[in-house]
Amino acid sequence: MDKLTISTAAKQAGVGVETIRYYQRIGLILEPAKPASGYRTYTDQNVQQIQFIQRAKKLGFSLVEIKTLLSLGEGSCDQTKQLASSKLDDVKGKIKDLRAIASTLETLISSCEDNSSNSSCPIIDAISQGK
């Protein structure tokens, strides 16, 4: 088991030193004890835990949700599945909302292109009127 400085652990995990310190402050990872030498050391397991956090963030989990995932561990598949299913529902809802926004923007852009009078911008008018 390698003993790593915080900067080496951060580099191996692909994050900044301040990210590790932040994760410690909010309780996502434990802060190693400070030995008499004055330098905290981190292990490969700490690096793996930080990488887990980063991968979970890429899947859309919030830090609060990640803290729950970490507390569940490997033996709580049903609870983990419920959390992942809830996240999937959230993502699908966001995709639906983004598709509606894209459709509205396409319509507004089209109305702007069709505006031959150039009296006022249909996009600005629609936003001003809350359409």
DSSP-based three-state secondary structure for 75: coil
- CB burial string 29-68: b at 16+ within 10 A, e below: beebeeeeeeebbbeeebbebbebbeebeeeebeeebbbe
Q: What is the pLDDT of residue 40?
A: 87
* Tokens 């629609």 -> residue: 126
Mean pLDDT, the chain, rounded, equals: 90
The model's pLDDT over 27-76, given as tens digits with 9 standing for 90+, comes to: 999 988 888 878 889 999 999 999 999 999 999 999 999 999 998 877 78
Least confident of 1-5, 19-23, 69-73, 125-129: 1-5
pLDDT at 82 over 70: yes
Classify 38 in phi/psi space as left (phi over 0), alpha (psi -120 to 50) or beta: left
pLDDT tens for residues 103-122?
999 988 888 877 777 678 88
pTM value is: 0.78
77-91 average pLDDT score:
93
